Structure 1
Amino acid sequence: MTSQTSAPAATPLGVLQEVFGFESFRGDQERIVEHVTGGGDAVVLMPTGGGKSLCYQIPALVREGAGIVISPLIALMQNQVDALAAVGVKAAFLNSTLDADQAAQVEGDLLNGDLDLLYMAPERLVQPRTLDLLSHANLALFAIDEAHCVSQWGHDFRKDYLGLSVLAERFPGVPRIALTATATQATHQEITERLSLGAAEHFVASFDRPNIQYRIVEKDNARSQLLSLIRAEHARDSGIVYCLSRRSVEQAAEALRKEGLDAMAYHAGLSESERAERQTRFLQEDGVVMVATIAFGMGIDKPDVRFVAHLDLPKSVEGYYQETGRAGRDGLPATAWLAYGLHDVVQLRRMIDQSEATETHLRGQRAHLDAMLALCESLTCRRVQILQYFGQQAEPCGNCDNCLTPPTGWDATVPAQKLLSALIRLDRERNQHFGAGQVIHVLRGKVNDRSTASRHDQLSVWGVGADLSETEWRSVIRQLLARNVITTYGEYGTLGLAPGATPVLRGQATLELRRTARKKRGSPTGRRSSTTTTSSLTPQQSSLFESLREWRAHQAREQKVPAYVIFPDATLISIAQVAPTAVHELRGISGIGAKKLERYGESVVEIVRGPWA
């Protein structure tokens, strides 16, 4: 519920150094902290891992009163409070997991001025009783985390966020800071308007995450491809695997467990206690792989997730960026890997078409999906395209799959015309509509029961595409769907012409499509300059790092907190490199503040003085 107390330093820089153990601010942090500390409102767009939480935690410690943090997931509040307790900050949460006596204690601590930070969900904050409680407390600020949840057109819309505009009305003298790592220009505007932050200062950092390597591959037994990736590059690493359905989550988790990996399933079909238990294990232990639907992950603070994999196509670039952003929060190398195929495209289009949403909302969903498909089929740098989607410019990164192994393009205008002609002939001459499989059989002249019964061999387009393999035709169809040249209809995903078909048929447009280089089955799906977080360490330093990790794991189990609350990997790596033999030598190592130095200094130095010293 509530952490231990510690007297905060008087200045933002003093808090940063003494409490959190960082020598200097990064990027816009200092400007944001100074602005909010001075009483100003702020809208902050900053990538995951960029240090957003410090932008409200430090002002809350410097200003008089308690900082109220609105966070979307109550399951994570205990971990957030634990992390603050570890550095000596007075923090608590107020949510439905507390009984009446515990909640009363937290409320009393708030009113008595015994808290620096108090976490609560938006649903609780907008209740009249909570607003009345806050009106009697001394408040330093309001921090609205995951502010993109207020966007009705976004991927993580939360209706209760709409009520947060009440803060501007009820508490006009208390500064407010809204933060998110995922916002297009439209979402940014919506955050500003819906939270009544029109007069706020806006801080927009680059969304670039240079430590993440983006890789997108065509599906060819996706689970086997994922297993190859993990074994080749991420053995013993923590990771998240996203799937579209509960069934696919369970199947993927079981498949990984059969291969000896510590994998767990997470989805809304599990009981609340099961989800809480599995999330706790993922946060507290090293080397756990969580296979989940998108119900898992928002607000996850685990900094050492080394890979995020998608076995199904995400519905939007925003969702993809938010989910991949959970990798490498510590700034160390991480992988964002996605496998997708034609079935994904057809399935998602069908889900949109069968939705009961308004036509305006459906258009928005189709536009989101089209942008995601364009990213997948891009011939150029993935990072450049992601940043362009969010309205930012960048140079090719040299670290994504397209930069490391540039794909080749080919003129697919004639094959596209053959496909369009086949769809027209099937419609006009047979009044028939088929999915991709049968259309490909017609193009390749492959006899089956359907083609025989429907006399497809008598069509003028029968066999005109025999020069391409079935796999190549599937790639063509997938990319034409992405280009809005063809579309899908109905429950079975039958193919038809889209508005972009006419100029192709008339020869007014040339189509250059992506040709992916063939890879040997089971081989790694990409390459990277450094495959592990410890690649910069000598063998002796690596041994010390592993000993420090074992000590950290023991501490985490004993205290029942996530391992990163003790020290993140980045701090352990620095310790292994510096090899301090006296406690005072730990000062200045990133992530070691006064409280942690006092609590763990002697133990760490003892480990350093081990057999490798």
Structure 2
Amino acid sequence: MDLHEALKKYFGFDKFKGLQEDVVKSILKGNDTFVIMPTGGGKSLCYQLPALMKEGTAIVVSPLIALMKNQVDAIRGISSEYGIAHVLNSSLNKTDVAQVKSDIEKGITKLLYVAPESLIKEEYIDFLQKQTISFVAIDEAHCISEWGHDFRPEYRNLKNIIEKIDDVPIIGLTATATEKVQEDILKTLGMSKAKTFKASFNRPNLFYDVRPKTKNINGDIIRFIRQHANKSGIIYCLSRKKVEEIAQVLQVNGVKAVPYHAGLDSKTRVKHQDMFLMEDVDVVVATIAFGMGIDKPDVRFVIHHDIPKSLESYYQETGRAGRDGGEGYCLAYYAYKDIEKLEKFLSGKPIAEQEIGNALLQEVVGYAETSMSRRKYLLHYFGEDFDEVNGLGANMDDNVVNPKKKHEANKDLKILLEVVKKTNQKYKAKELVNTLIGKVNALLKSHKTDNQPFFGCGKNQTDKYWMALIRQALVAGFIRKEIEEYGVIKITEKGLKYIENPTSFMMTEDHIYDENDDSSIITNTKSNSAAADEVLVKLLKNLQKSVAKKNGVPPYAVFQEPSLDDMALKYPITIDELKNIYGVGEGKAKKFGKPFVELISKYVKENDILRPDDFVVKSTGVNSGLKLYIIQNTDRKIPLMDIAKSKGLKFDELIEEMQRIVYSGTKLNIDYCINEMLDEEQQEEIFDYFMESESDKIQDAMDEFDGDYDDEELRLMRIKFISQVAN
């Protein structure tokens, strides 16, 4: 049967998409074949069609049961033979296994989907040795590589197992792979002579947007979803706890949403997945367990509540938007704090794994903080050049839509390239930056770099500036990262020519995401203040000062700035509405609220303002139980460490929870605990500081006291202070 006839017969298509035809031909010829094709590019057809056309059974190794089930159902749908495709994994009972074996022996089964763990079993290997196997396809092949974003140790052994079964062609397929990962896959599978097919990674219909992650992120997400009402979307979080929390917040705010993570039983997961596919719900809140092989073409937005651990993960997860070629909005919330959490998590792993993990994380930081075209940055990471002026989708990201300032940096670029050359091209980005700013560390000392005349030649700029320049020089092709020594920076031919003959180099200024202490429970929400009514904010600030004076407390003890911004966004005109303002609880609203709602009410009338009274983010009440528990137990003078343990909280999480309680207007008495740490004089000194200071930031207090008190003591004293003077 002719190739196009088979395509029409089995799949109903008149023509192949992209590289599909070339890949299918290669497999039919019996070549080892390696396919790198982005999500939505039609990877699965590449091995399904040849499997249906060739004699025998094709083995498809796949990491996820849900993914196998989807594909088997799809293949069964195009054939009258139920046994044409089977799954062989831990979900089958003995009768099921016997049926699968019988169908393979009769030559009915063309595609056998197996998990790598199942393929190791001796009984399966013995059985498969006696059958006719057409080829072995390894889907999600990046799982083989430690440099991949989803490494599975059991994948490393696949080559040996395949050799035991039969000497057949191997097909490796992945939707995302950097050069390092590609090399690793080919080496580990012993298919160095494989024909490689790499499709473009550019998805021109996707819009990329990175926003600062504020304390009001739930409100930001709900606002975004309401702007995209009745559209399908996925929200990714890194922890199961966060998935549950966000799903609940969305539900109580009228968004049809369900959670999805590995901690739910399989029945619930399947139910939630089907509800999403059948459009009974609009949003799935998920960990990365969701989405592999979910073939929903009209996902209109993908939100990352937490930035992922690698750009491969990010690319694959955003790739689930707009697979039909229609609108796809990819929004990531970024705070450097999240990166620090991930680094902390890595610190318990073996050194080699830490190095890989940290290298991958730095790429994510670069993407989030860059001010150049995000599409160009992302495609460069996957080894693809992109023309940011004429390329497809060139105007589809926040940095291009709102261009950042540029400045001439030809002198600095020349300095950077010379330092790479003079240090014999042996350093990673961090060491290069340290050399430029003159910061000594053990590695630089061991190479005697700190004695060189060029050491510190760039100290007129910050480390952040040089890191941004390195990223832009990489994308521009003046330097490159060495694959074998991951992360070591080498100079290119283009870079060497530039040293001889520097031309103009316009450097884009990076975003500076605030990494400072945000120890006051509410940090300034950039995204909110932009939309707030500036005139009203001014009036509210004046009122805040006069109310503070009248009560003899600092202005921040009345309401914090983000609360004022939120008032100027939502115009609350009753005490009940004020309670729902960001960072304002019942206690605060009752104690200070009256003049504020009176001022806003008058302002709204005078200016004919239409109030967005439908927009109040309701809380789930999850925290109210915890709040009550903390209040009751501090009243009973239970040690704080015991309160934290009994609720499964870390000590700093408990402090944060207590801060939340007092900042929203409820009293807490923790004198019993503070008295054990600080004497009366010390307490008075810190209390007076907070009374006179314009800021409640812990870092400012640390600077003022110059190490006399530690972070914990100051935080607990701030809780006592706010509790006494503001509530």
TM-score range, shorter chain: 0.5 to 0.7
Which amino acid letter does the alignment assign opposite residue 238 of structure 1? S
- Secondary structure of 1:19's aligned partner: helix
Q: Alignment partner for residue 365 of structure 2, among 373, 383, 387? A: 373
What SS does structure 2 have at the residue aligned with 1:148?
A: helix
Counterpart in the other structure of 1:230: 225
State the alpha-carbon separation in 2 of the partners of residues 139 and 386 from structure 1.
39
Q: How does 1:409-558 map to 2 (within 5 A)?
A: 505-507=459-461, 512-514=509-511
Deviation at 1:337, TM superposition (A): 0.9
Among 27, 52, 55, the residue aligned to 2:46: 55
- Answer yes or no: is the 8 Å Cα contact 2:306–2:338 preserved in 1: yes
Structure of higher CA gyration radius: 2
Please give the TM-score of this superposition, normalised by the length of structure 1: 0.66
Instruction: Answer yes or no: is the 8 Å Cα contact 1:307–1:336 preserved in 2.
Output: yes
Inter-partner Cα distance in structure 1 for 2:125 and 2:254 = 50
RMSD: 3.0
The residue identity in structure 1 corresponding to 2:222 is L
Q: CA separation in 2, counterparts of 1:227 and 1:502?
A: 48
Match of 2:114 in 1: 120
**1:507-548 Cα distance to aligned partner (Å, 9 max, x none):** 588664326996556979xxxxxxxxxxxxxxxxxxxxxxxx
Letter in 2 for 1:232: Q
Which residue in the other structure is 1:350 paired with?
344
Give the SS at the match of 2:510: strand
Cα distance 1:60–1:364, how it changes in 2: closer, same or farther (>3 A)?
same
How far does residue 49 in structure 1 lie from its aligned partner after superposition? Answer: 0.6
Q: Which runs of 5+ in 1 are unaligned?
A: 1-9, 413-479, 487-498, 525-613
CA contact (8 A) 1:317 1:368 kept: yes
Alignment-derived partner of residue 648 in structure 2 = none
SS in structure 2 at match of 1:53: helix
Which residue of 146, 151, 158 corresponds with 2:152? 158
Aligned partner of 1:355: which letter?
A: G
> By how many angstroms is 1:504 displaced?
5.8
- Structure 2 unaligned segments of length 5 or more: list them: 389-393, 410-429, 438-449, 467-508, 514-524, 533-727
Aligned partners of 1:127, 1:92: CA distance in 2, in Å? 17
Report deviation, 1:315.
Answer: 1.4
Instruction: Return the TM-score normalized by structure 2.
Output: 0.56
| Partners of 2:277 and 2:101 in 1: CA distance | 28
Please tell me whether residue 134 in structure 1 is matched to residue 125 in structure 2.
no
What SS does the corresponding residue of 2:154 show, helix, strand or coil? helix
Structure 1 residue 205, shift from structure 2 partner: 1.3
- 2:397 pairs with 1:400: yes
1:380 positional shift: 1.2
Match of 1:314 in 2: 308
Distance 2:63 2:531 in 1: 40
SS in 2 for 1:335: strand
Residue type at the aligned position of 1:80: Q
Tell me what 1:97 maps to. 91
In structure 1, give the amino acid aligned to 2:8.
Answer: Q
Q: Distance in 2 between matches of 1:194 and 1:410?
A: 46
Deviations 1:321-372 (A, max 9, x none): 12112222233221211011232233223323x32322x3212211111110
Q: In 2, Cα distance between the equivalents of 1:151 and 1:387?
A: 20
**Equivalent in 379, 386, 391 of residue 378 of structure 2:** 386
SS of the residue 1:514 aligns to: coil
Name the CA distance, whole Å, in 1 between partners of 2:457 and 2:166.
57
* Corresponding letter in the other structure for 1:30: E
Task: Return the alpha-carbon distance in structure 2 between the equivalents of residues 278 and 399 of structure 1.
Answer: 31
Shift in alpha-carbon separation, 1:230–1:62, aligned structure 2, 3 A: same
1:22 is aligned, of 13, 17, 41, to 13
Task: Give the structure with the higher percent helix.
Answer: 2
Confirm or deny: 8 A CA contact 1:150 1:159 kept in the other structure.
yes
Which residue number in structure 1 is paired with residue 356 of structure 2? 364
Contact 1:144–1:177, Cα closer than 8 Å, also in 2: yes
Residue 575 (structure 1) aligns with:
none
Match of 1:13 among 4, 7, 18: 4
User: Structure 2: how far apart are the matches of 1:523 and 1:138?
Assistant: 66
- Which amino acid counterpart does residue 514 of structure 1 have in structure 2? H
1:172–1:103 Cα change, 3 Å: closer
Are 1:193 and 2:184 counterparts? no
Identity %: 43
Distance 1:172 1:106 in 2: 19
Change (3 A) 1:16 1:333: farther
Q: Distance in 2 between the 1:281 and 1:215 partners?
A: 28
**1:278-304 deviation per Cα after TM superposition (whole angstroms, max 9, x unaligned):** 233333435431111223233323333
Task: Tell me how far 1:209 sits from its aligned partner.
Answer: 1.5
Moved more, 271-280 or 325-334: 271-280
Between the aligned partners of 2:120 and 2:6, the Cα distance in structure 1 is 31
Is the partner of 2:511 in helix, strand or coil?
strand
Kindly indicate whether the alpha-carbon contact (under 8 Å) linking 1:49 and 1:331 is maintained by their aligned counterparts in 2.
no
Cross-structure match for 1:210: 204
Partner of 1:258: 252
For residue 454 of structure 1, what is the aligned residue in structure 2? none
What code does the residue aligned with 1:212 have?
A: L
Q: Partner of 1:69 in structure 2?
A: 60
Map of 1:3 onto structure 2:
none
Q: Residue 28 of structure 2 contacts residue 50 of structure 2 at CA under 8 Å; is this kept in 1?
A: yes
Structure 1 outlier segments of 4+, above 6 Å? 483-486, 515-518
Q: CA deviation at 1:411?
A: 11
Which has the higher relative contact order, 1 or 2, with Cα contacts under 8 A spaced 6 or more apart? 1
**Aligned length in residues:** 433
Q: How big is each residue's C-alpha offset from its partner over 1:220-271, in whole Å with a ceiling of 9 and x where there is no partner?
A: 32222222222213x2222211112222211111111112112112223333
Aligned-partner Cα distance in 1 for 2:57–2:169: 12
